Every structure is written in structure tokens, then in C-alpha cells.
Homo-oligomer: A and B are copies of this chain.
Amino acid sequence: MDETRRELPPPPFQRVPERGGRRRRDPLTRESIVSTALRVLDREGLAGFSMRRVAEELDTGAASLYWHVGSKDGLLDLIMDEVIGEQQVPDPEPERWQEQIKDVARTMRSTIRRHRDIVEISIGRVPMGPNALRYTERVVAILRAGGVPDRLAVQSYLLLLSVVNGFTMDEAGYEAETEAGEVPPLEEGAEMVGDYLGSLPADEFPHTIEVAAHFADADQEGRFELLLDLFVDGLAKRAEEA
């Protein structure tokens, strides 16, 4: 596991091909592997994602990938950074920092949702690739521009990552309930949940039954915005106090 992560000499990061080799018309590169791997992951899901499957897509054998990415785990690290790199973080506008932070979170959520199963991959990983670093830099810039003290800025940045990740993770869970091909997401499953909760024995679950209807209409959007409000409002208040 995870030899790549250890091998990477910190900043340069890329293994530059130097002199010749048994070339193919379309030689393998780290980049081409990562981007096809991400494509495979999005199409087949994490369960269907294997080194052989990725290799097949590149018309080669699984063994060839190992020279470039070290291990499956290393490849997943790279995929992670690639996905982080998709997110654009705006330049700081100090008087709008609260809305900007919310936008950062919204972008993060939609990016995660665009790449199914990416949340699973992010789990044991501390993202430290070049894109992750740039991302950190720009988000911290917004917080500091808004007057959030350094320590609180770091704490809340880390918190924001966890919290949005956690939210989207659960969301992905509800959606995964319906199998791959089907589309009718979220609503139907949630309704069944509500019905089920409503049918519980009344003596043991009085509260659950009374609020079952609210479990039924799982207003994810509203819940996410509630989270952002709680987070940013509280943060702004604490930033002022300091």
C-alpha cells in the first residue's frame, strides 16, 4: 500500500520521462492514467474500479500502470488531487467573505456529487497534492481577508472540509440506495423511509412517529444551506469578538 505517497519528493511531484523507452504510439503518462482512471471510476463506481479495468481502457496490462503510479492507493491519491484541482476558488473580496465561503462549500459539494464514490476515496487520505495546496492557500486567503484570526481561520477551514465532506457522504448514501441504472433518486427512497418510520410501534417510538413526515421530505438543499448558515454565522460572530 501507498508507496507512491512516500516516494514523492515533495514539490516536484511529477515523474518526468527522461530518455527513451519501449514506446507505444500513445505512451503512458501519469496524467493519462489519472484521467482515464477518473473516467472509469465515475462510470463504474468504486466497486467496479480495478487496476485491470483501467489498464484495459488504455490497451495495456495492469502491470504497466505500476511503474507510473506505484500502487492502487497511489493512483487514488492522484485522482483525489485531480478532483480538487477542478474546483475554482475566487479571489478574496473582503466585504463578501461570508458569501464567498458559502460558495466554496457549494462548489465542493457539487464537485463531490459529480464524481460518485469520490467521498469513499477521500476517507483515509490527507490531501497534500499540488492542487490541494493551492486550494488551501486560496480558501485561507478569503478567510483572512474577511478578518478571521489566523488560528480560527485554520480551524474553521479544516472544519469546513470535514463538515461538507460528511454532509455529502450521507447524501451519497441515500442516493446509492437505488441501484446504478435507475434515476429516481432521493425522493422515493426518502418517502419509503418516512412511511416505515411512521409505521413503527407507537409506544416505543412516539417522537419518531410524530416527526416521520419530516424525514420523508428529505430537503437536502435546505439542510445544506442550514449547515452553511450555522457555520458561517457562528464563525463571523467569533471573528468579530476577537
Contacts and interface: CB of A to CB of B under 8 A. Distances in A.
B234 A229 contact: yes
Contact of A169 (B140, B165, B214): B165
B219 A140 contact: no
A205 to B, nearest CB: 5
A120 B128 contact: no
B210 A163 contact: no
Nearest to A152: B226
Nearest to A173: B124
Contacts of A215: 154
Nearest to A158: B223
Interface in A68-104: none
Interface in A179-212: 193, 196-197, 199-201, 204-208, 210-211
Interface in A90-142: 119-120, 123-126, 128, 133-134, 136-137, 140-141
A231 interface: yes
Interface in A1-58: 1, 10-11, 47
A86 to B, nearest CB: 19
A170 B150 contact: no
Nearest to A176: B124
A117 to B, nearest CB: 9
A201 B133 CA distance: 11
A242 to B, nearest CB: 13
A154 to B, nearest CB: 4
Contact of A211 (B153, B169, B199, B229): B153
Which 10 A-B pairs have CB atoms at the shortest separation, nearest pair first? A166-B166, A230-B234, A154-B214, A162-B170, A162-B166, A124-B176, A140-B207, A162-B167, A137-B208, A150-B211
Given A133-B208, A159-B226, A230-B235, 5 more contacts: A11-B201, A133-B200, A150-B214, A154-B211, A155-B226
14 contacts: A11-B200, A120-B123, A126-B174, A128-B193, A128-B196, A133-B197, A133-B208, A137-B207, A140-B207, A140-B208, A144-B207, A151-B214, A153-B214, A164-B166
